[in-house]
Amino acid sequence: MSQSVPGIYMFGDSLVDVGNNNRLPISLLKASFPHNGIDYPTGKATGRFSNGKNAADFLAEKVGLPTGPPYLSLLSIGRKLGKAPVTGVSFASGGAGILNETNKLFKQTISLTQQVEYYSLVRDQLVQQLGSTQARAHFTKSLFMIVIGSNDLFAYFKKDSKISKQYTPKQYVDRMAATLDQLMKRLYGLGARKFVVTGVGMTGCCPAFRKQNPGNECNTHSNHWATKYNDGLKILLRKLKLESSDINYSYFDIYAAMSDLIKNPQTYGIREIKEACCGLGKLKADIPCTPVSTYCSNRSDYLFWDLYHPTEIVSKTFADLLYSGSIQVAHPLNVAQLVRL
């Protein structure tokens, strides 16, 4: 067990969901069936939107901790919180967004605001269990990882989006950053001091967007606003640090990492950057990965597992970069440096 990192508290969307959506009765976004999980140690679907493990699993492995269980798995039949492990909990939920309206797209998901509320309940329990002094030390050294924002952009740039009629793209990405700022300040007030925050990747290059363009090219408009949001996020993080000097953070520039992978796939051992491994139709992106979909046998050759999500091998690559990558992709610190503080 890593003493330098006593726990990981995971907030975010389907990139790091480890099974919360399985427990949402009417959610339209689930990965609780084959062919998901085909390369997971059990060979079974776990609610991860992946052929195997995702970034949450790999980061936990890096610091010597078990993957935090899904928060909803800790609830009793009466929806009371059972005993949470001191090594961390995952609140991440497929389809979740920073903005509350994003969460209405998929009928049922755990919004980031709600994820922070759930964390406050876990925190209260640990304060009772450990005592306030020990609990404060625990939270100060724990990692608070936030992987979110893609669904907000998908909601804005999807065909027939109502949201795009209400806000200009700039107003929208500014709202995303301002909302995240408030939620991070709330986490700070609840004891968080070490943040691991990822930007948004090249949303316009996922198979779901590529298939709509001639030549299966990326959606440059969506990518442009992903970079604008990321710029706002970097400013927000610097300001938080200025306002509260005891905050330390690692920002992972997943956009830069993904861009390099798409430009130089052979460096990463990847051969297919456009088509999904699991799905049906054009670029296998007409339907998600479901039991009726076909899937590739050479999964480690693919960037995308399904129409939105990376394969296990790519999640591992990104987790490696986040943990020990250069300042080009992880700044001002990588996670290895962050945990030593």
Out of 138, 142, 150, 309, which one is annotated catalytic?
Answer: 309
Short-list 209, 207, 232, 235, CA closest to 220: 209
Which string of DSSP letters, residue by residue, matches 137-153? HHHHHSEEEEE--HHHH
Residue 309 annotated to the active site: yes
Give the angle subtended at the CA of 207 by the CAs of 201 and 212, to the nearest 5°: 110
Encoded tokens for 195: 């943040």
Residue 326 annotated to the active site: no
* b/e per residue 117-141 (b: at least 16 CB within 10 A): ebbeebbebbbeeeeeeebeebbeb
Out of 13, 14, 138, 222, which one is annotated catalytic?
Answer: 14
Cβ–Cβ < 8 Å for 278, 298: no
* b/e per residue 77-108 (b: at least 16 CB within 10 A): eeeeeeebebbbbbbbbbbbbbbeebbebbee
**What residues form DSSP beta bridges with 24?**
none
3-class secondary structure, 207: helix
How far is residue 164's CA from residue 114's CA, in Å, rounded to a whole number? 24
Give me the count of residues in the chain: 341
How far is residue 123's CA from residue 110's CA, in Å, rounded to a whole number? 18
Encoded tokens for 114: 């709600």
Residue 14 annotated to the active site: yes
Out of 35, 93, 306, 315, which one is annotated catalytic?
Answer: 306
- The residues assigned a catalytic role are 14, 306, 309
